[in-house]
Amino acid sequence: MELDLSGYDIKISDDMNTWEEVNLLYNAALKQIQTKIEILNDEFQEVHRYNPIEHVKYRVKGPESIVKKLKRNGYESTIENMVRYVNDIAGIRIICSFTSDIYRIAEMISGQKDIQVLTIKDYIMNPKPSGYRSYHMIVSLPVYLSDKIVNVKVEIQIRTVAMDFWASLEHKIQYKFEGKAPAHINSELHECATMVANLDARMLSLNEEILAIEK
């Protein structure tokens, strides 16, 4: 995925190859994480006859978003600052059926020897004021090039289908109103977030009851 920097005020210290290498690194890190997740999912399907992952989304953040985030946090728009301060340039979203799957997958990812977990934010146990729920991890993993090894940061978000549906709607609303949605809409969103949490809890309980009967 090539990112076009023309028209964006990003200062590159050396030459264009510097940006191209950075872009290559983030895409390589995503490919490695994708392979790891697919292997874990295949193992669950084969050994446990259960598929904990509904689907996975991957993306590299665009230059406009990177510049906005740097400026919002008071940093100059340089490649060095981008790599150092923007932790979600490479992002993966894992969608699960149940909340128990979220923690199971997070534990499996953390257990990979070549993955270092840098930060964890559990917005399921501690939702944002808006009602947003998700499990966030910033991890670092080595990307092996022909002449060196580079550690690259990737953000991993793990959430249920219901959480993802709510977050998608909330994102669209905040984008439309530029973060200043009317109070009654924010109130409705928060109420819906509570309903989503209750639904996830009931669905998990129902699934556990079904599994107990099967045993």
Please give the mean pLDDT across all residues of the chain: 86
User: What are the residue ranges spanned by the domains of the chain?
Assistant: 16-161
179: left (phi over 0), alpha (psi -120 to 50) or beta: left
Domain 16-161 in CATH 2.60.40.10? The answer is: no
Q: Which pTM was predicted?
A: 0.86
CA dihedral 63, 67, 73, 79 (to 10 degrees): 80
Bridge partner list, 90: 60
- Give the amino acid at 80: E
Q: How wide is the angle at C-alpha 41 spanned by C-alphas 86 and 198, nearest 5°?
A: 75
pLDDT in tens, 68-119: 888 888 988 888 888 889 999 999 999 999 999 999 999 999 999 999 999 9
Pairwise CA distance, residues 152 & 90, whole Å: 9
User: In Å, how far are 28, 31, 41, 71, 156 from 34, measured between CA atoms?
Assistant: 10, 5, 11, 30, 11
Q: What is the mean pLDDT of residues 6-35?
A: 68
3-class SS string, 112-123: CCCCEEEEEEEC
pLDDT in tens, 122-151: 999 999 999 999 999 999 999 988 888 889
Pairwise CA distance, residues 91 & 78, whole Å: 20
CA 43: distance to chain centroid? 22
Q: Could you tell me how many helices (H) and strands (E) the chain has, helices first?
A: 6, 5
Catalytic (active-site) positions: 155
Percent of the chain with pLDDT over 70: 91
Q: How wide is the angle at C-alpha 32 spanned by C-alphas 29 and 38, nearest 5°?
A: 140
131: left (phi over 0), alpha (psi -120 to 50) or beta: left
Pairwise CA distance, residues 24 & 9, whole Å: 20
SS3 101: helix
Residue 175's pLDDT is: 80
Q: Which residue has the tokens 């924010």?
A: 186
Pairwise CA distance, residues 89 & 63, whole Å: 9
